[in-house]
Amino acid sequence: MVLNPVISKLAGKLVVLASASPRRLEILRNAGLRFEVVPSWFKETLDKRLFKAPQQYAVETAKQKALEVARRMPCNHLKTPDIVIGADTIVTVDGMILEKPRDKQDAYRMLSRLSGKEHSVFTGVAIVLCYENPNDEDYQIIDFYEETKVKFADLSEGMLWEYIDSGEPMDKAGGYGIQALGGMLVEYVHGDFLNVVGFPLNHFCKQLDQIYNKQGSCHGDTAPTLPAAVHPLPTPSSTHTVLPEHQVSFCNEIQPVTANSRPFNKGEDSEEAREDLQKIIQLMDGFKASKALFTASKLGLFDLLQRRPALNAAQVALELKTSLKGTEHLLEACLSLKLLKNCKTPAYENTELSKRFLLSEAPSSLLGYLEHCNDTVWPLFSHLESAVQEGVHQHHRTFCNKSVNRSQEVKLRFMKAMHSFARVSGKAVATAFDLSAFKSACDLGGCTGAMALEFARAHPELSVTVFDLPAVVEMSPRFHPPCTQDRLTFVAGDFFKDALPKADLYILSRILHDWSDEKVHFLLGKISDACTPGCGLLLSEIFLDEGRTGPSRGLLQALSMSDGRQRSADEYALLLKSHDFVATGIKQTENLLDAMLCIKV
């Protein structure tokens, strides 16, 4: 194999694969290549419309994946790789790129489109060569693509659904894996079979051979003369073409490690070192604090101590029907978290913090949302390693072996979570801007109407409609007293399928971050079509800062691997501008959600 003569030249070099794909790992390991795996954080959100050919999109995505890792490693891993390999595989048919399916119906749509047809599988590959010297870092990139033609047999409905129900399509480009059960769908393959699996090994080996055997050592005294496909990466001071901000997020300045570099010269007993250790300890123990909060809330501890303050551990255990030992430990943990206080030793009562947010009847109660975090989010995050490795939501792994009842009770629990969240954040969002120019508003996906009610209270001249699914509208009266209905109007419908109610102002609170770019653009297009110039759109989300260093809550939420993504305020503004909405105000509320007001032009 052409890779074998290269292996000796790579000995001692740090080769990194910027992908967690188990198929790419297996292909390269079977070829004898020794490498580390550092999955790329690059968000695959390049606008496909900007590329003349699908292979260009695959190559650019591969390049950005590899560059993100090449630039992050010296910052976060404190070591510089010699080579970073990035790859992206796409399936195209009838001029359309098919990536990973969002759900079973999306997989069915993809596979039906491929049935009986020949399609192309493209893998874009980028090899980033990193050269380190005392004062600077330089990168050179070789990129290429491989195309393989694949023909599907005519597939019956039974075969399609049998394959989809196996679960295999859900993390595969185009909805199938040729190396496994998906092979039964294929009539013939013209080209590199491994390219369809996920990595064009033969083409990759030829490129390495050209670099190392024909052009000399990569890290010798002289850098190799690279093929024409190699692109030097501009340094930050360069006036060359700069990648759009939304396409890649790097550490922009990589400083050389010197004897005076603070991270490497802290004494173990210094004040800074002790503070850093405490920060790490807080991060390590954070999940324990969360679970203590969830457990105390679910057991009704705070409601009990509100009804009967100054109970001791034995009395609390008796009331909650819990063990004395377990109750003592939970009470002491809540005391340390400042959720409880000693009124007289050894009796406990709620702190003001608990009274405000952790009581069932408190106006700002978060109990419904805490229940959602405990019953749904916590189990999902217990599979975070799989989520990071696979890049997909872990609902199937979390709940597939459990009897998850999708009944009215489950829907009601989710609505309670959204209701409590909206009650806490609603006023800050509703009062963020002067809305006197608008007479009617429509809260799309407004759930129980808690957010909409805050708008009605803050702006008495504003009539507010809540637009949500029929099942949600049917259960919404459970969350408000009857008099509330005079302030709100509920309309049942699906904002992806049905006509939107007419309004001067549309409200999107915690909607866009959950959906794929395709659905986001579709929804914003519908809103834009429903609006005349001067109409408004009020967006409420967690706005990330431009450096992706915070707020951590939004970045941690992104780890759920939903179809959507978190964005900064500038990214949301650009997104809305593409649908003729211009941002006129952005408000960091210091609450659970931020707000942006846009006007249709």
User: pLDDT (tens digit, 9 = 90+) per residue, 331-342?
Assistant: 999 998 999 998
**pLDDT band at residue 408 using 50, 70 and 90 as cut-offs:** low
**DSSP state string for 189-222:** EES-HHHHHT--HHHHHHHHHIIIIIS--TTSSS
- What value does the mean pLDDT take over residues 169-194? 86
What mean pLDDT comes out for the span 504-511? 96
The pLDDT assigned to 485 comes to: 61
What the block records as the tokens of 285 is: 């123990």
- What does the pLDDT look like over 85-102, one tens digit per residue? 999 999 998 888 888 888
Helix (H, G, I), strand (E, B) or coil at 527: helix
180 contacts 166 by C-beta, under 8 angstroms: no
Q: pLDDT per residue over 54-64, tens digit each?
A: 999 999 999 99
How large a percentage of the chain has pLDDT more than 70? 82
Catalytically annotated residues = 88
202 in helix, strand or coil?
helix
More confident residue, 262 or 508: 508
Instruction: Collect contacts of 378-384 with beta carbons under 8 A, ≥24 apart.
Output: 378/290, 378/291, 378/294, 380/560, 381/559, 381/560, 384/559
571 pLDDT higher than 70: yes
Burial group, residue 325, by CB count within 10 angstroms (0-12, 13-18, 19+): exposed
What the chain holds in terms of domains, given with CATH numbers, is 4-238 (3.90.950.10), 271-362 (1.10.10.10), 409-600 (3.40.50.150)
Q: How many residues are present in the chain?
A: 601
For residue 421 the two structure tokens come to: 């969240």
pLDDT in tens, 101-140: 888 888 898 898 898 889 999 999 999 998 654 333 567 8
Q: Are 52 and 75 in contact (CB under 8 A)?
A: no
pLDDT over threshold 60, residue 177? yes
Predicted local distance difference test score (pLDDT) of residue 229? 47
Tokens of 133: 């010297």
Name the 3-class secondary structure at 337. Answer: coil
Per-residue pLDDT band at 7 (split at 50, 70, 90): low
Whether residue 232 has a cis bond before it, omega within 30° of 0: no
Rounded Cα–Cα distance for residues 403 and 396 (Å): 12
